Each structure stands twice: as C-alpha cells, then as structure tokens.
Amino acid sequence: MLLAESISEYIKEKKEPSILTEFRTNAEKFLNEAIFPDSSLESWRKISLSNFKISEYTKVCPDSSVTVSGNAKVTKLQDLPPEKLSEVLKKLEPAVSFYSKEWFPLFVFSRFTHAYYVQLGSDPSSFPEIKVECKDGNIILPLLIVDAFPGAKSNFLERWESPSQKDLVLMSGVTILLTPPNGDFQYSSLENLGDSTFHFRATYGVQEKDSKFHASLASWGGYKGKSFYDTNVIGKGCWTRYVGLSPLKAREFQDTEVRILHSESHAQSSILYRTVVREKAHHVFTGNLHIPSHCKDVGAIQINNNLLLDRTARAESIPKLEVFADSVKCEHGATVGEIDEEQLFYLASRGISEEEARKMIVEGFLNEVVREFPSETVREELSSMIESRMLGE
C-alpha cells in the first residue's frame, strides 16, 4: 500500500471508524500549521535534514512488520469497541496538545500506519514485547498507547529494528505510556537500526499520584535520528527515573532529548544517560528538568557522561534546568572525555593487555546503565552488542 499524498485519500483507503478518522483529521490541522524541522528550531538545530524528502517514502510496511509477544492484551485501535476507542483517543489528547508544533509526531498522529492499544497485566515476572520492523517497505509510522496496571508492577519492552540496505527508509513513531495511581511501570526500549534508516521518535508518559516510572533506553545504529522522551508528572508523590545508553560508530548520528515536566509537588526524578562514540559517530544529548513555581519538595538530577574512543568522534551535552520554585533541590552534570591513559597504564602494570583494558573500561562505563534494565535476557544482549560494536572491527 502506498502512503497517499492526500490525508483524505489515505483515510479512505483505511476504512476506519469515523471517530478515528476525525482524530486523524484534527491532527492534520495541527500538521498543516507546524514548521518542518530546521536549524531555526531549538530542538532541531543540531541535526541536518537537508537530504530528507518526505515524498520519497510512500511504500508502507505490511501489518506483519509489527509483532507482539508475551502476556499483554494488545488490540488494533480500529478493532476496539466504539466506547473503548473513544476512551483511548481521549487519552491521546494531552500528547497531541504537547506536540502541537512538532512536525514528526503530528505526521504520525495524522497518518499512522500501525496503531495498537496495549493493556499490561500485573505479573512482575512477565515481559510483554512489541517489535516494530521496517521491512518490505520504506516507511512505518507506529502509534502505541500502553496502559500500565494500577497498584502493581508492570513491564513492557518496545523494540525497533531495521536492516542495512541500499535505499533509505523512514521509521517515525509515537508511544504513549500511562502510569496510573500507585502503579510501578518499568519500560524498556531497544533500537537496533541499519545504517540506511532515518528514525524519529516521540515517547510521551503521564504519571499519576504515588506512581513509579522507570525507563531504560538503548539505541544504536541508524543513519540520522531524533528522539524525544517526555514524562509529565501530574500526580503528587511520584518517582521518575530515566537511564539510557547509545554506543555509536562509523558515521551514525543520534540526537536524544529527555524532558521531565513536574506538574505537582513531592516528587523525585533523575536522568542518567551515557554514550560511547567511535570513528566519526556523533551523539547529542539534551536533558531538561522543568519545575514550575507552585511545586514544592521536588528533587531532580540529570547526569550525562560521554566517552570518545577516537579523536574524530563527537559528543555534545546540553543540560537544561527550568526551575521556578524555591523549595526544591536540583543538580546536573555532564562529562565528555577520552579513555584515561592513567587507567590504561594502571591496568597494564597488572599484566592486562591494552585491548583487554579498553574492553574493561568501556564495559564498566556502560554497565551502570545496563544493569538497570529489568530483563536479564536484555542485559546479556546489550553486553554482547557493546562488545561487538565498540571493541570489534
């Protein structure tokens, strides 16, 4: 199926419920007013899209490109009963409003190619998973709404994968993560992308009263990408944690932005993001903690550490603290550096080869993030990936 130039043509082809058609149409109105990303926009000034032409991406990946496994109730949006669909679309409204000027999320809201509603169970040992692949086509625009279980621990893993190929492909998606009162939601995201993939993501979370939300992020590969990870803490007594890693090589470029928006008092939040870059890879990290004047007793911290394995590799850190309240405690820190020669000398003096020493330093640097992923299988997968990408040829 081709992605039609006209949104009305595309909707007509989909034969969806009228309420879903109305949602797309409303999002299209915002899209028509939005500015396509360029260097004049603060969040997009580091990434060049001069060679990106949306008109080139018309062949939609088939339904089989999204697969589901594990213990969760997953339903296509168009297959939900009318009342339930109306309820779910209402949950999307804050995200549409939040991204009302962001072109790529609006493009997904109006022209999503795959859309699912996910209801998680209360089994803390279960790790339900959705895998999004770009195969047999050159564009996929997934829209996911994930409801965590109230008053219990929930796990969810989202994977993005694409092969390396001659022609460029586009993966752009929006994921909505809902943590109910007293919920404990552990979300994990893995991106393993081919070197011909443009990738753009917006992940928008909402936390209600006395809830916990933990996001573990790992992203590697791809051609060029920009990812927003946003959480709106709307309830009191919440705890929020983001950890992430990006091991990049060759000419890969990634721009990652994590934003935690505190809307209520008595909350704690933290961000820890680490990157290792080699060859001519380039990573940009932006962290933003927003605390308005009415919030009290809020503690927030963000740390970004970057390790350069080559002089040609680049890493940039842009910490932001938007704090308008008095009785809060906020901290931030950022480092960019190469492997310490003194560390290598110390390990060499104990009979460890330089190759093995570099391996130990890189693994030790990233392991603080890896061990926060809740799945042992995923932790082992990440350890193997880090060794092959950062220390292999």
List, for residues 88-115, the tens digit of each pLDDT value: 999 999 999 999 999 999 999 999 999 9
Mean per-residue pLDDT, 31-54: 94
Calculate mean pLDDT across residues 68-72: 91
* Percentage, residues of the chain above pLDDT 70: 94
pLDDT at 7 over 60: no
Residue 258 phi/psi, 5-degree rounding, is: -115, 125
Residue among 124, 144, 262, 236 nearest 184 (CA): 124
CA–CA distance, 24 with 77 (Å, rounded to integer) = 12
Chain centroid offset of residue 56 CA: 24
pLDDT at residue 338, as a whole number: 85
pLDDT at residue number 3:
61
Q: Which residue has the higher pLDDT, 343 or 19?
A: 19
- For position 393, what pLDDT does the model report? 58
Q: Is the pLDDT of residue 149 over 60?
A: yes
Q: What is the pLDDT of residues 135-147, one digit of tens each?
A: 899 999 999 999 9
- pLDDT of residue 131 exceeding 90, the answer is yes
Mean pLDDT of all residues in 191-196: 97
pLDDT in tens, 155-164: 999 999 999 9
Instruction: Work out the pLDDT band at 344, boundaries 50, 70, 90.
Output: low
Closest CA to 214 of 263, 173, 269, 174: 269
Q: pLDDT value at position 321?
A: 87
Here the tokens at position 375 are: 């799945």
Whether the predicted pLDDT of 345 surpasses 70: no
What backbone phi and psi angles, to 5 degrees, belong to 122? -110, 10
Strands 72-76 and 114-120: antiparallel
Mean pLDDT of the chain: 92
pLDDT score recorded for residue 239: 98
Q: Which pLDDT score is estimated for 361?
A: 82
CA 344 – CA 357 distance, rounded (Å): 6
Backbone angles phi, psi at 229, to 5 degrees: -120, 110
The pLDDT value recorded for residue 10 is: 66
Amino acid at 340: D
Residue 239 in 3-state DSSP? strand
Q: Name residue 122's amino acid.
A: S
Tokens of 156: 């969810």
pLDDT at residue number 1: 46
In this predicted structure, the answer to whether residue 12 has a pLDDT above a threshold of 80 is: no
Residue 270, pLDDT score: 96
| Interhelix angle 82-98/103-111, nearest 10 degrees | 170
The model's pLDDT over 209-257, given as tens digits with 9 standing for 90+, comes to 999 999 999 999 999 999 999 999 999 999 999 999 999 999 999 999 9
The percentage of the chain sitting over the pLDDT mark of 90, rounded to a whole number, equals 79
